A and B are shown apart, each in its own frame.
Chain A
Amino acid sequence: MHETITETHSTAPSNKAVFSQLRRYFLYAFIAVGVLMFVLDYLASSVGSDTQEARAVDFETQSIAIAIAEEPPQLNSSLATDAVSGMVLGHIMEGLLRMGVDDQLEAGIAERWEVTPETATFWLRKDARWSDGEPITAKDFLFAWQTALDPDNASEYAFLLYAIKNAEAINQGNLPLTDLGVRIPDPHTLVVELERPVPFFDKMVVFPTFLPIRQDFYEATGGRFGADAKDLLYSGPFVMASWVHGSSLLLQKNPYYWDKDRIRLNEINVAYITSDVNARINFFKDERIAFTGLQAENLIDAMRQKWPIKRYQDGTVFFLEFNHREDRLSENLNFRRALQSVLDMEELVYKVTKLPGYRPGESLFPTFLMGVEKSFRQEYPATKIPVDYAQARAYLAQAKEELGLAEWPEFVLLCGDNPISNIQSEWVQGALKKHLGLTLKIDKQIFKQRLAKMTAGDFDLVLAGWGPDYNDPLTFGDLFASWNLNNRGRYASPEMDRLIAVAQNASTPQSRMEAFAGIQQLIIDDAVILPMYERGLTYVLHPKLKGVKRRVIGADTDFTNAYVER
């Protein structure tokens, strides 16, 4: 290192001298960077939130920190449709009724209620208050429902209110808002006239679209209701103290909440917003958050960490839907039956996707739904179609003859563009090739484009799913009605429509459940869809955090009854 000039590189400078120069040069640079960091630190604290304090759980202050996958897109309850907004709304808002920890309806703002075939009456408690101290009255519910039904607001979930008299006509713009079938005999009584008998109306009011909104506050926000923490008025156990977009939300106990003694947490700090599951698991490991979901690839890691892994089914059913439009080959019943006899959903769930908590699909109706007394699926088990390759080939040969085909053309399988869809669509493709010699072209599309293609009928088969909106089998049962816009495969049969009408209008639970059983059987007999699986989710909780409730309907995950153990 000490030679100044070598023969080969006559111009090479002395390393030692160069080093001293470089050292000086970089010393200045690092001082400059240091100063810059100070400036940045100052700037950053003015644009972002300080999440450095996030601690998974704190016994002394009874506070917890969590992460969510995305910024809540819409906290205006009359317009909200997504799960993240629903989760946040479930903590900051309370409606007429709520779901308890035992999955039974509980009194909320309404202290008692009664549903008859003609009306549903709710008696509101007098001590229920908004977060500004004003009482919550029946008018606030009427205003919220009118807002959701106002065609100008174009709420996508307005259809949930159609059980109320004149609601549909109002939503279609055929009647004025004032014609809504809701009467307010006194400020604390709400009488809802029903369009038709809806025995489960009390279960429906748990949905965010039914949450109250106070008119004067709503109008004062000038169209920005729900846009920021200050643009919301709270009726639930928590208020939103701050909302830094894309970064964090801070929920604090609501001092005006009527049932505040039930609430043990003082603070829920939604400290991180990221869609990356692995990042959330890292936050969990670092004790920054108290709760996170897991994916299949994280399970081994989670077991190694000796975390107690919890699981539950979220009530979402995924299925292979056929295109029943007349110009499609998939309209042929024998063709559909051939596929029905070939695809072994147990193989898919247990050997291919291997995701914990997933249950092989047997029926359109998920297992959580209640029948007359026990679970619907216990009372009316779905018929199982055995896997039978010879039978499948016979069906297929018959279909070929009926359709007058010489060769089967290529079929299009539409699916989402995500790892799970990829595995599943390739499995279907492989099974049909192997056992039936059918060629499937996989058409991967991002969500909106898949929806557009489904609506346009641009597919033969599609990987689709459906989750519940309310706690009654009808939330699945009417999916394949000829009039249902969500029936994107356009299945139409008079028998299906008849059964759905019975399920909608019959007044005894027994006759309704029999109608649902008929729908379940018809879907299998007609191979309307092939149920693939019922989704399961796994998650981990901080060992000191207790009382967290996961649920299928309503705000999930629910921390309102949670507390931190010492």
Chain B
Amino acid sequence: MTRYFLRRLAQGLLAVWFIATATFFGMHAVPGDPLSSDRATTEKIRANLESKYGLDKPLPAQYLIYMGNLVQGDFGISFTQENRSVNDIIRDHFPVSATLGILAVIFAGLGGILWGALTALFRNRLPDTIIMFLVILGISVPSFVVAALSQLMLVRLNDTVGMSVLPVGGWGSVAHMIVPALVLGLSTMAYLTRLMRSSMLEIVNADYIKTAHAKGLPAGQIFVNHQLRNAVLPVVTVLGPAIASITTGGFVVEIVFAIPGLGRYFVQAIQQLDYTVIMGTTIFYGAFLVFMVILVDLVYGLIDPRVRVE
């Protein structure tokens, strides 16, 4: 088990190194650089700026310096927010994204399992059709539409009630999180519902279910202990990457609801070619994703003894 874990960790580190290297050279290959601005600068100023950020050195040298700093956990200083280090940006804003992301995943997971179980129970009948219709909507309507619509609905709701039922945006209390987390988790919830439904239906005729019925177990117990537990496995598999993608993909929701998360820095950095922030956030998110996948593999073993690695 430990050896397996270590091997996976080594593979993960290799993957992160690859992500870092590819991003580094890809980013520098893009025309333009973070120092170019609306007002042209004289050569002298430009040279000073370049040396301040180490951009005057040849690219391979820059790469080695960057990697050296990276190993020491130093992501450098942002080009656009010149007084903030990338470490500060991640430290300040990742907890916000993570909080929102985890809540979204919980909503998505619970909702997905519940709706999935219901559709399986009512397969090919009206509740199934209605839920599956909503699922298709949830998967196909992009999050910026859902986010904007739900925000508008909140405004209407507060207006109708005449007081602030839920805040329209901002950050600070759990009331601020509920709607953004639901919006953020919506497409994952829809996806999990479908997954749950198909895996429920797949095992409904399995031998062990028949056996359970034959030995006279109550139907409810069979459903929850045998069917649900086995059907939930594929859901757990996708949950790990889902946590990573939800936590990192909150850009739109963060902008619409004015939430100070890391997602917007991630996207804005690319638009502004802020080299250090692009590198910092990409590596951080990359490592996070890789780690989540490893974690899921380990958790998988706990849930399903059949895949336990010796």
Which residues in A have some Cβ–Cβ distance to B below 8 Å? 4, 9-15, 17-22, 25-26, 29, 33, 36-38, 40-41, 43-45, 47-52, 54, 67, 70-71, 73-74, 76, 79, 81, 151-159, 171-173, 224-228, 231, 244-248, 271-276, 278-279, 282-283, 285-286, 288, 445-453, 455-456, 458, 469, 484-486, 488
Are B36 and A22 within 8 A (Cβ)?
Answer: no
Q: Is B294 an interface residue (CB 8 A)?
A: no
Are A21 and B220 within 8 A (Cβ)?
Answer: yes
B residues less than 8 Å from A227 (CB atoms): 83-84
Are B172 and A50 within 8 A (Cβ)?
Answer: yes
Q: Is B223 an interface residue (CB 8 A)?
A: yes
Are B272 and A158 within 8 A (Cβ)?
Answer: no
Q: List 14 A-B contacts (CB under 8 A).
A: A10-B213, A22-B117, A40-B99, A43-B99, A51-B169, A51-B172, A73-B81, A156-B41, A171-B42, A247-B171, A285-B155, A288-B170, A448-B32, A451-B36
Are B155 and A448 within 8 A (Cβ)?
Answer: no
Are B174 and A47 within 8 A (Cβ)?
Answer: no
Tell me, in angstroms, the Cα distance from A52 to B261 when the chains sit together: 17
Are A154 and B49 within 8 A (Cβ)?
Answer: yes
A residues less than 8 Å from B168 (CB atoms): 282-283, 286, 288
Q: Is B7 an interface residue (CB 8 A)?
A: no
Q: Is B80 an interface residue (CB 8 A)?
A: yes
Question: Taking CB as reference atom, which chain A residue is nearest B118?
Answer: A22
A residues less than 8 Å from B155 (CB atoms): 282, 285-286
Q: Which of B67-75, B204-212, B282-290 contacts A (4 or more CB under 8 A)?
A: B204-212
Question: Taking CB as reference atom, which chain B residue is nearest A466?
Answer: B38
Tell me, in angstroms, the Cα distance from A152 to B44 when the chains sit together: 10
Tell me, in angstroms, the Cα distance from A67 to B42 when the chains sit together: 35
Assuming the A-B contacts A12-B204, A37-B174, A448-B273, are A21 and B95 also in contact, with contact meaning beta carbons closer than 8 angstroms in the complex? no
A86: min CB distance to chain B, Å: 13
Interface string of B35-60 (1 = CB under 8 A from A): 01111111011101100100000000
Are B205 and A11 within 8 A (Cβ)?
Answer: yes
Are A276 and B256 within 8 A (Cβ)?
Answer: yes
Q: Is B176 an interface residue (CB 8 A)?
A: yes
Q: Is B34 an interface residue (CB 8 A)?
A: yes
Q: Is B255 an interface residue (CB 8 A)?
A: yes
Tell me, in angstroms, the Cα distance from A183 to B205 when the chains sit together: 93
Are B210 and A279 within 8 A (Cβ)?
Answer: no
B residues less than 8 Å from A155 (CB atoms): 45
Tell me, in angstroms, the Cα distance from A509 to B42 when the chains sit together: 30
Are A52 and B175 within 8 A (Cβ)?
Answer: yes
Question: Taking CB as reference atom, which chain A residue is nearest B83?
Answer: A227
Contact of B176 among A52, A156, A246, A447 (CB under 8 A): A52
Contact of A41 among B121, B173, B273 (CB under 8 A): B173
A residues less than 8 Å from B80 (CB atoms): 73
Are A22 and B49 within 8 A (Cβ)?
Answer: no
A residues less than 8 Å from B260 (CB atoms): 48, 244-247, 273
B residues less than 8 Å from A54 (CB atoms): 170
B residues less than 8 Å from A285 (CB atoms): 155, 159
Q: Is B33 an interface residue (CB 8 A)?
A: yes
Are B173 and A17 within 8 A (Cβ)?
Answer: no
A280: min CB distance to chain B, Å: 8
Are A11 and B258 within 8 A (Cβ)?
Answer: no
A residues less than 8 Å from B110 (CB atoms): 26, 29, 33
A residues less than 8 Å from B167 (CB atoms): 51-52, 288
List the 8 closest pairs (A to B, CB-CB), nearest first.
A13-B219, A452-B32, A227-B83, A485-B40, A246-B260, A51-B170, A17-B220, A21-B220
Contact of B174 among A40, A154, A484 (CB under 8 A): A40
Q: Is B222 an interface residue (CB 8 A)?
A: yes
Tell me, in angstroms, the Cα distance from A247 to B104 when the chains sit together: 20
B residues less than 8 Å from A70 (CB atoms): 268
A residues less than 8 Å from B32 (CB atoms): 448-453
Tell me, in angstroms, the Cα distance from A74 to B172 when the chains sit together: 25
A residues less than 8 Å from B169 (CB atoms): 51, 272, 274, 279, 282-283, 288
Contact of B44 among A79, A171, A248, A276 (CB under 8 A): A171
Contact of A286 among B45, B158, B172, B204 (CB under 8 A): B158
Assuming the A-B contacts A52-B172, A282-B155, A448-B33, are A18 and B220 also in contact, with contact meaning beta carbons closer than 8 angstroms in the complex? yes
A-B contact count (CB 8 A): 245
A residues less than 8 Å from B92 (CB atoms): 47, 245-246
Contact residues, B245-276 vs A (CB, 8 A): 255-258, 260-261, 264-265, 268, 271-273
Assuming the A-B contacts A51-B172, A76-B83, A448-B34, are A4 and B219 also in contact, with contact meaning beta carbons closer than 8 angstroms in the complex? yes
Tell me, in angstroms, the Cα distance from A74 to B220 when the chains sit together: 62
Tell me, in angstroms, the Cα distance from A447 to B269 when the chains sit together: 12
Q: Is B135 an interface residue (CB 8 A)?
A: no
Tell me, in angstroms, the Cα distance from A153 to B83 when the chains sit together: 13
List 12 additional A-B contacts (Cβ < 8 Å) besides A52-B175, A279-B258, A448-B36. A14-B220, A44-B172, A50-B172, A50-B173, A154-B52, A225-B83, A245-B89, A247-B170, A283-B168, A285-B155, A449-B31, A469-B39
A residues less than 8 Å from B223 (CB atoms): 13, 17-18, 21-22
Q: Is B218 an interface residue (CB 8 A)?
A: yes
B residues less than 8 Å from A36 (CB atoms): 103, 106
Q: Is B146 an interface residue (CB 8 A)?
A: no
B215: min CB distance to chain A, Å: 13
Tell me, in angstroms, the Cα distance from A147 to B99 when the chains sit together: 41
Are B45 and A71 within 8 A (Cβ)?
Answer: no
Question: Taking CB as reference atom, which chain B residue is nearest A221?
Answer: B83
A511: min CB distance to chain B, Å: 28
A residues less than 8 Å from B37 (CB atoms): 81, 156, 451
B298: min CB distance to chain A, Å: 22
Q: Is B93 an interface residue (CB 8 A)?
A: yes
Contact of A13 among B48, B151, B222 (CB under 8 A): B222
Are B95 and A276 within 8 A (Cβ)?
Answer: no
With most chain B CB atoms within 10 A of its CB, the pick from A48, A76, A157, A173 is A48
Q: Is B236 an interface residue (CB 8 A)?
A: no
Q: Is B82 an interface residue (CB 8 A)?
A: yes
Q: Is B61 an interface residue (CB 8 A)?
A: no
Question: Taking CB as reference atom, which chain A residue is nearest B34?
Answer: A448
Q: Is B177 an interface residue (CB 8 A)?
A: yes
Contact of B40 among A17, A20, A76, A486 (CB under 8 A): A486
Q: Is B152 an interface residue (CB 8 A)?
A: yes
Are B174 and A44 within 8 A (Cβ)?
Answer: yes
B148: min CB distance to chain A, Å: 6
Contact of B39 among A43, A157, A282 (CB under 8 A): A157
Tell me, in angstroms, the Cα distance from A485 to B265 when the chains sit together: 30
Tell me, in angstroms, the Cα distance from A53 to B23 when the chains sit together: 42
Q: Is B239 an interface residue (CB 8 A)?
A: no
Tell me, in angstroms, the Cα distance from A20 to B219 when the chains sit together: 11
Q: Is B224 an interface residue (CB 8 A)?
A: yes
Assuming the A-B contacts A51-B172, A74-B81, A285-B159, are A33 and B106 also in contact, with contact meaning beta carbons closer than 8 angstroms in the complex? yes
Question: Taking CB as reference atom, which chain B residue is nearest A29?
Answer: B110
Tell me, in angstroms, the Cα distance from A43 to B171 when the chains sit together: 12
B262: min CB distance to chain A, Å: 9
Tell me, in angstroms, the Cα distance from A18 to B217 when the chains sit together: 12
Q: Is B19 an interface residue (CB 8 A)?
A: no
